[in-house]
A and B are shown apart, each in its own frame.
Chain A
Amino acid sequence: MIAALLRRDLAQFFPFTGSGAALPVVFFVAVAMLFPFAVGPDANLLAKTGGGVVWIAALLAAILPLEKLVARDIELGFFDQLRLRGMAEEAMMAVRLLAHWLSFGPPLVLATFPAAALLKIEGETFQILMLGLIAGTPGLAAIGLMIAALTASLRAGAALSGLLLIPLALPILIFGAGALARQDQVSLGFVAAISLALVALAPFAAGAAIRAAREN
């Protein structure tokens, strides 16, 4: 049942096949493309600030899919039907977390190649940026899932989830973008640790949230 659910979730959320399309990735590249227009083509300035821009673009791109992530399947009664078949909410949310990350994490990492070229990010900076995104996007996905599950039953849930994600994502952003400024890979370890803790926590928090949403 887990495999069938993962296949279904991936088909729902994956860029180019799902209804969500490739919008977050396109958005991500668009921000990287617009930035040089806004600050001018000075290569030094771009290389210095570009990494931070990529991180902010990644964070904003992670907000885009949240609206559909959980609320739609609650309205459909989809989770209820799985529950009746004996699946725990935590398992549903763990599968959803994996599908959500797969649908925006790896595409974002790939899109970093053109984005980095546009922002003149090269050499070790590029390496740190890539590693940081690989370590940080699972954490962003986990925060997104928890928020999407918590706000699913609220009327203004979609708008709220974007606002809620930003402060919670700050630690990942600080260590991820901080690694770029100091050119050191140590703080990437912090990013990975924060991500890991969030990924471990998210299925339980999100599972409890969708159970609670049934009670009202």
Chain B
Amino acid sequence: MQALVPSLIADNLACRRGDRLLFRRLSFALEPGAACHVMGANGAGKTTLIRAVAGLTTPYAGEVRRTGALALLDERTGLDPDLPLGRALAFWFGVDGTGDAAAIIARLRLEALAEVPVRYLSTGQKKRAALARVLGQAAPIWLLDEPLSGLDTASQGLVSALVREHCQGGGIALIASHQPLDVPGMTAFAIEDFAPAEAEEEA
């Protein structure tokens, strides 16, 4: 899988939520090493875009083409709430064949939490645990939906550092966030720029 050159292309994408068109004519092409920051107010359609790009929902129009495996971080951790964090993460590390699980857990400062059931973790701790899951997947394409929400300043810096390393290693990152990230060379667009005009929406 790593032999392929990863790429992520959105072509003329349009998505709806219910009856409302959130954005249309949205296109981008991300090459290896590219990071792209999707900005936008709450409810503008950032999560909808991320889920459409992930292939979890079908866009209203347009298409997404990608080469390479994809890792998704969103507000849902995918970790069993009743299990201790160590075992909940071990499930995904096992599925993904993660080799350096201990290093990932140390990097995200989760060692001390290994025995704590996931449901007792704070928002920020859950976010760090989900990031560990993403790192363990070793996928060339990252889709991060609000990776900074709930994190303290130190952890926010860590997320920026992880994205920098991922992209320096030839990875692709598409990040939806209303907070700034410190990633040099990152492109950015606001989802509102692709929102339909009032008249168009009526039509």
Which residues of A does B touch, CB under 8 Å?
Answer: 1, 4-5, 8, 12, 19, 75-78, 80-81, 83-85, 214-216
User: Do B77 and A76 have beta carbons less than 8 Å apart?
Assistant: yes
Residue B157 is within 8 A (CB to CB) of chain A in the complex: no
Which residues of B does A touch, CB under 8 Å?
Answer: 18, 51, 54-58, 69-72, 74, 76-82, 91-92, 94-96, 133, 137
Q: A10 vs B58: C-alpha distance in the bound complex, in angstroms?
A: 32
Q: Return the contact of B72 from the options A12, A19, A80 (Cβ within 8 A).
A: A80
User: Do A12 and B80 have beta carbons less than 8 Å apart?
Assistant: yes
**Which residues of B lie under 8 Å from residue A81 when comparing CB positions?**
72, 78, 92, 133
User: Do A214 and B91 have beta carbons less than 8 Å apart?
Assistant: no
**Which residues of B lie under 8 Å from residue A19 when comparing CB positions?**
82
Q: Which residue of A lies closest to B130 (CB)?
A: A77
**Which residues of A lie under 8 Å from residue B76 when comparing CB positions?**
75-77, 80
14 sample A-B contacts, Cβ–Cβ < 8 Å, listed by A number? A4-B94, A8-B80, A8-B91, A80-B56, A80-B76, A80-B78, A81-B72, A81-B92, A84-B56, A84-B72, A85-B69, A214-B56, A215-B58, A216-B18
Minimum Cβ distance to chain A for residue B64 (Å): 13
**Which residues of B lie under 8 Å from residue A84 when comparing CB positions?**
54-56, 69-72
Main SS class of interface, B: loop
**Which residues of B lie under 8 Å from residue A80 when comparing CB positions?**
54, 56, 72, 74, 76, 78
Given A19-B82, A84-B54, A214-B56, does the pair A77, B91 have CB atoms closer than 8 Å? no
User: Do B70 and A77 have beta carbons less than 8 Å apart?
Assistant: no
User: Do B74 and A77 have beta carbons less than 8 Å apart?
Assistant: yes
**Which residues of A lie under 8 Å from residue B58 when comparing CB positions?**
215
Q: Which of A1, A8, A216 has the most CB of B within 10 A?
A: A8
User: Do A215 and B70 have beta carbons less than 8 Å apart?
Assistant: no
Q: A54 vs B18: C-alpha distance in the bound complex, in angstroms?
A: 46
Known: A5-B95, A77-B76, A214-B56. 15 other contacts (CB 8 A): A1-B95, A12-B80, A76-B78, A77-B78, A78-B80, A80-B54, A80-B56, A80-B74, A81-B78, A81-B92, A84-B71, A85-B95, A85-B96, A85-B137, A214-B57
Q: Which residue of B lies closest to A77 (CB)?
A: B76
**Which residues of B lie under 8 Å from residue A85 when comparing CB positions?**
69, 95-96, 137
User: Do A77 and B95 have beta carbons less than 8 Å apart?
Assistant: no
Q: Which of B57, B74, B80, B92 has the most CB of A within 10 A?
A: B80
Q: A85 vs B54: C-alpha distance in the bound complex, in angstroms?
A: 11
Minimum Cβ distance to chain A for residue B43 (Å): 16
**Which residues of A lie under 8 Å from residue B95 when comparing CB positions?**
1, 4-5, 85
**Which residues of B lie under 8 Å from residue A76 when comparing CB positions?**
76-81
Q: A1 vs B71: C-alpha distance in the bound complex, in angstroms?
A: 16
